[in-house]
Structure 1
């Protein structure tokens, strides 16, 4: 079998089969990549800044269509309404998010017994490694710009310390601050007051910017592309199988030819001396 496989034409055939199999494997990888890629790209509309008061309604559910939307709002911070959210990572280090309450100018006021005169929104202003580095938010009128993010869920059965929160949870913060709030929060990118940007990204120092970008849509498995990727793997194996089968058939033909040559060869005739020896008494 190996003698047949080492014929020049079958060595060339093996090289060709390996090349074809390699192409099929690359096609399989391409189809597999397509099977898990997001079907909908990140919308560029989220990067176009919109007024917060025209994007989200306080007191309602947070619609997914405005998630990650860049928004702007005018208002002011209350330095007494600030918490730290522990367990937040930045560059591999664990620290705290600094979250402050922002009173939104021009926001509709909610009604009800527990409603506050102003409508607020939590603002994640930045990240600190040490709680003592948090500092107070900018005072006075502030032009806020940032990314609008849905409220997080509070950690169950966890009682935060004073000045701390388990998460950037509107449900938790409105009880802690006793305010009416939008159903989400803003990750600040700029905080302009008096013509100067006092945000963590502009000032620098111990308060580090969060730099939260638009979140890609959840990946969904495209089963058709996944099936195609498996199909190309089968084709790759089939190319090598075809080469092996052709070599095997050639080997059998060689055996049959050798057997036919053996049967077609006439038996050798005895010489005259051999005949004389047989007739002697």
Structure 2
């Protein structure tokens, strides 16, 4: 059968079938890409900086619409209230987030026996490779800008090392710092003190910026496009099957023609007399006188 498949016309047919199959595969990939689309595009409004005090209120539930919002706030850091969160990656390298408590000016104070006079918010200021590389936060009044994120869940059954926390969890941090806090935290992008940006993005050092962008929207599956993508794959396989089937039929025709030729060669010539090239029987021989 390979001899038949190597005929020039079937080699050309195979190249054509491969080309058709390639087009079908590309169409399948295009349909598959359309089958998974974001539920909603990234909201550009989250990139417009809004005041923290007008975006989120302490003591309230953290709304999903507030996540990823760029916010600004004025206040001060407390160098005594700083922890490291381990097992955080930066360019694929493990290290620590440096998280400091930030007292927000103008934030409403919470009521209650355990409430602090000021309301604070955890700020993830940057990343360090080693705990000893973590610097103290800027002193004095600071103009903070960063991305507002919901509180993380603390790791269960995990005892952090001294000066560390298992996660950027408000529930865990307020127990360490004994302060009232917003229900989320800020990943800092800029820290302006005395008119100069003193954030890791502006000041070279061991503390590196986090560079946390907006979270990608959720994905939804379009089952119709997914079905079409599978259908094009079937078509690609069918194109190759048609080529193989045509080659097989041509191979069988060659076999039939070869058998017919052998049959014709073995059959006697109809124009030849039956007694030609035959010896007469003994009783048919003439007797010489």
| 1:5 equivalenced with 2:8 (yes/no) | no
- Equivalent in the alignment of 1:138: 138
Quote the Cα distance in structure 2 between the aligned partners of 1:276 and 1:203: 119
**Residue in 1 that maps onto 2:166:** 166
SS of equivalent residue, structure 2 residue 168: coil
SS at match of 2:250: helix
**Match of residue 274, structure 1, among 243, 252, 277:** 277
Matched pairs, number: 281
The answer on 1:202 being equivalent to 2:202 is yes
1:254 shift after superposition: 4.5
Give 1:271 deviation, angstroms. Answer: 7.1
* C-alpha deviation, 1:49, in angstroms: 1.0
TM-score normalised by L of structure 2: 0.86
How far 1:195 moved relative to its partner?
0.7
> Which residue does 1:19 correspond to in 2?
19
The offset of 1:36, in angstroms, is 3.9
Structure 2: stretches of 5+ with no match in the other structure: none
Structure 1 residues 268 and 55: CA distance shift in structure 2, 3 A = farther
RMSD: 2.5
**For each residue in 1:210-244, what CA deviation from the matched residue of structure 2 results, as whole angstroms up to 9, or x when unmatched?**
11111212444443333222221111110011112
Moved more, 225-234 or 179-188: 225-234
Q: Deviations over 1:87-142 (max 9, x none)?
A: 22223332221111111112222222222222111001111222222222112211
C-alpha spacing 1:39/1:280, structure 2 compared with 1 (3 Å): farther
Instruction: Give how far 1:158 is off.
Output: 2.0
Which residue of 2 is the match for residue 113 of structure 1? Answer: 113
* Whole-Å separation in 2 of the counterparts to 1:69 and 1:43: 9
Q: Which residue does 2:157 correspond to in 1?
A: 157
1:122 and 2:89 are equivalent in the alignment: no
Question: Where do 5+ consecutive residues of structure 1 fail to align?
Answer: none
Distance 1:18 1:198 in 2: 60
User: In structure 1, how many angstroms separate the alpha carbons of the residues matched to 2:222 and 2:181?
Assistant: 40
Q: How many Å apart are 1:16 and its aligned residue?
A: 0.9
* 1:245 counterpart residue number: 245
Summarize the alignment of residues 48-87 of structure 1 with structure 2, pairs less than 5 Å apart.
Answer: 48-87=48-87
User: Secondary structure at the residue paired with 2:201?
Assistant: helix
